[in-house]
Amino acid sequence: MPPSVKGLLIDLSGTIHIDSKAIPGAVEAVRKLRASHIPFRFATNTTKTSSRKLVDKLNAMGFGIQEHEVFTSLSACRDRVSQLRPLLLMEEAAMEEFEGMDTKNPNAVVIGLAPSKFRYDLMNEAFRLLISDPSVPLIAVHKAKYFADKDEKLSMGPGGFVQALEYATGQTATVVGKPTRSFFELALKQIGMESCPQDVAMIGDDVNNDLGGGAKELGIQRLLVQTGKYRTGDEQGHEGVRVFPSVVEAIEDVLQQHA
């Protein structure tokens, strides 16, 4: 038996919502979680919009989330590139996260999920910058293969576009979001549980990016939900992953441990 869950990290897109539609029952499940006083953070790789706009979007669905409750790969990326002058391949809605940064004469390439920026001319601009100087880093917010789009079908994530730049330049991108160990360590620190990751569970719809990598290395308990990206059999070959129909049942299981 795993130890009882004393803290939670919860994915957003595909787990509590898909685009502008809440997963059925998720709003009430989050309300119950907050009332239980179990420490938690929403830990997300969402990169199409800034943290503030993301919180506004979630609250329009009724979640009542405060900005400090959301830890994003964008905020981790902002910290990572704070001393650089990045060429940002980001959606306009995400650029607010990098407000005030010097982006003239760039000396780094930063790539997120940016469908409107994945054009030949902009990708080629990034390519030329990277090959102009081997010291110019390629930084990926994350390398997800796909995501659950607003029509509830899968769409390409940034991973393939990051790999295109890796292939063309011979560079390996530095990834700052999930599933890196550093991302999860920072998220654990936010809930004061960096010294006991085994007492924390991560709830997500992506068995690799939400529940693999750093989550597994740190011994975080891993709860997979059958919404969003989930496809039948995703959990096969991932020992220790527990599967729930949705975030509602996953949170209820955690709350019952504290009943």
Q: Apex CA 140: angle with CA 200 and CA 98, to 5°?
A: 90
Q: Which pLDDT score is estimated for 3?
A: 78
Cα–Cα distance for residue pair 36/22, rounded to 1 Å: 21
Tokens read off for 197: 């990751």
Tokens read off for 74: 């964008």
Walk along the chain (259 residues) and give the pLDDT tens digit of each residue: 677 999 999 999 999 999 899 999 999 999 999 999 999 999 998 877 888 889 999 999 999 999 899 998 888 888 889 899 999 999 998 898 898 999 999 999 999 999 999 999 999 999 999 999 999 999 999 998 988 888 889 899 999 999 999 999 999 999 998 999 989 998 999 999 999 999 999 999 999 999 999 999 999 999 999 999 999 999 999 999 999 999 999 999 999 988 6
Helix (H, G, I), strand (E, B) or coil at 188: helix
Q: Which pLDDT score is estimated for 15?
A: 97
**Nearest alpha carbon to residue 244 among 256, 176, 177:** 256
Cα–Cα distance for residue pair 168/22, rounded to 1 Å: 39
Cα–Cα distance for residue pair 145/107, rounded to 1 Å: 27
Q: Which pLDDT score is estimated for 259?
A: 66
The count of C-alpha atoms lying within 13 angstroms of the C-alpha of 96, restricted to the half-sphere facing its C-beta, is 10
Cα–Cα distance for residue pair 193/47, rounded to 1 Å: 25
Domains, in order of start, for the chain: 7-45+179-257 (3.40.50.1000), 81-175 (3.40.50.1000)
Q: 144-177 pLDDT, tens per residue?
A: 898 888 888 989 999 999 999 999 999 999 999 8
Output the pTM of the full model: 0.82
Q: Which pLDDT score is estimated for 175?
A: 92
Cα–Cα distance for residue pair 76/202, rounded to 1 Å: 18
